[in-house]
Chains A and B, each alone.
Chain A
Amino acid sequence: MPPVIEVTHLHKRYDDKVAVDDVSFTVDKGEIFGILGRNGAGKTTTVECVEGLRAPDRGTISVLGLDPLADRAELTRRLGVQLQAGMLPGRLRVGEALELYSSFYPRPADWRGLLHDLGLSEKARYADLSGGQKQRLSIALALVGSPDVAILDELTTGLDPQARRDTWELIEGVRARGVTIVLVTHFMEEAERLCDRIALIDRGRVVVVDTPAGLAERAQAEQRIRFRPSREFDTGLLADLPEVSGVGGRGEFVVVTGGDGALNAVMAVLARHQIVAERLRVEQAGLEDAFVELTGRKDAE
């Protein structure tokens, strides 16, 4: 099956500033594909080229077999877009906006159902909506045309934790109906929870494309073992272990970092010296660690 979206060697500059240097990736049918990177990494410019809002300087893009610029009319019918700052006239009511947008498409979704699913009130004016409500409405507008592909940019920015989880559930429901979703985000938890695969973009280039678990693994991140020993002991005993890469302490706690075998080795040493590891906690590296590791920089924001 050919990919739904295929981006090859995309390059885009604004005047003398390179926004996207060299980006290639493919998105398969029915998957949630994440584009992850900090602000200014080139995520939004990349999806704007995919949406046909900007013309690439170099490279090719195919969406559902269509050229985003040459086949605009056909593409807009099959691609739902949520813009980072997608706005509506202030005096327009929520219900009117959804009804209007649904009239644009050949096979629209039931807009009242969307309204209900997203917990929006029909009579509210756009100007009176909170940031979170505006965000939800823009998601509804991206889905109202029953698109084959939906591109969602900064999906849950400005939502409170509960609304964020509700939105994630909604997106999973949309995917279950066979819609391919591209999710632009700088929010790790969101990418980890929703995405089947993630393209990590940094400074206008794709660093890596992998599953969230694969990304975390690639980072070769170590596990971190944290416990409170039942009595004081010489932590040098642990530092000598070949599986252990570092030993530190925080108050009365000992923190050991190391590879896969570290936990067993540490436990064996402790047992031999009849030390009990109280309040033991083992942390695996997550996407956040992978991000820092793979881009070589801290601060995903």
Chain B
Amino acid sequence: MNSATWRLIAVEGKLCVRDRAALVWGVACPLVVLVILGGIPSLREPITADLTVFDVYVPVLILFNVAILAMTALPSTLAGYRENGVLRRMRTTPVGPVRVLAAQLVANFVIALVAMALFLLVAGLGFGVEPPRHPLGFAVAWLLATAALLSIGLLVTALVPSRAAATAIGTLLFFPMMFFAGLWVPIAQMPPILQNVSAYTPLGAGMAAFQDSYLGGFPSWQPLAILVAYAAICAVVAVRWFRWE
């Protein structure tokens, strides 16, 4: 990587931070929810031998953050770049538009990483939630879930015709995805059929992998394989059919 690539990543990072909407909805909002839920005593009662409702919500909010960045911020930014000729302008430089896409992905990845660390810190120091008992397993689960989501976001960007459509479709996908991650009803309390569906959604698989690592084991192969499949298939399709103009 040369200095142009680094500078591009730094600039895209700055632009992401200046995009207040992404930070407010993607970072501040889940953080506030975390603090509010942490302040409700009944949620701190154990529902199983090991976990309280609040414990379960920490990984849900981590996924909420990644999903906002990947499903709304990334597609609307990149589709906007395409619409406004930013990508076209880059085609006339030695750097090319592919690296703009890469820089956006890296910038969102870094923001998600910082937000995840922040959530774990606030939950741990503020409310005594224990960190995942299998840190490596948790890291792998987070990496694969983030890769799967960014890949889906890229696929949305690749196929939609406009910025407005990117924002609409990203948002439309966000809500069912969050539902199956257990944002409104914890997965454990869903009817069996919904639990089965959840296991095959990216965020449902992500939650399953998180839960394994919270309980102390390395995540089982099934959710990890599902996340890898989402990441790989969506990335390949996105790269193959990306509309540059």
Contacts and interface: CB of A to CB of B under 8 A. Distances in A.
B11 A83 contact: no
A88 B86 contact: yes
Interface stretch (B92-100, B128-136, B194-202): B92-100
B94 A85 contact: no
Given A53-B92, A76-B94, A92 B15 contact: yes
Given A83-B89, A100-B7, A100-B8, A77 B94 contact: yes
A232 B94 CA distance: 71
B226 to A, nearest CB: 34
A269 interface: no
B87 to A, nearest CB: 9
A39 interface: no
Given A92-B11, A103-B7, A76 B92 contact: yes
How extensive is the interface on chain B, given as a class?
20 to 34
Contact of B19 (A88, A91, A105): A91
B4 interface: yes
B18 A91 contact: yes
A51 interface: yes
Given A81-B92, A104-B4, A87 B11 contact: no
Interface of B: 3-4, 7-8, 11, 14-15, 18-19, 77, 80-81, 84-86, 88-89, 91-96
Given A89-B81, A90-B84, A105-B93, 4 more contacts: A86-B85, A91-B15, A92-B15, A101-B93
Interface of A: 51-53, 73, 76-77, 79, 81, 83, 85-92, 96, 99-101, 103-105, 141, 145
Nearest 10 A/B pairs, CB to CB: A81-B92, A87-B84, A87-B85, A91-B18, A76-B94, A103-B4, A86-B89, A103-B7, A104-B95, A104-B93
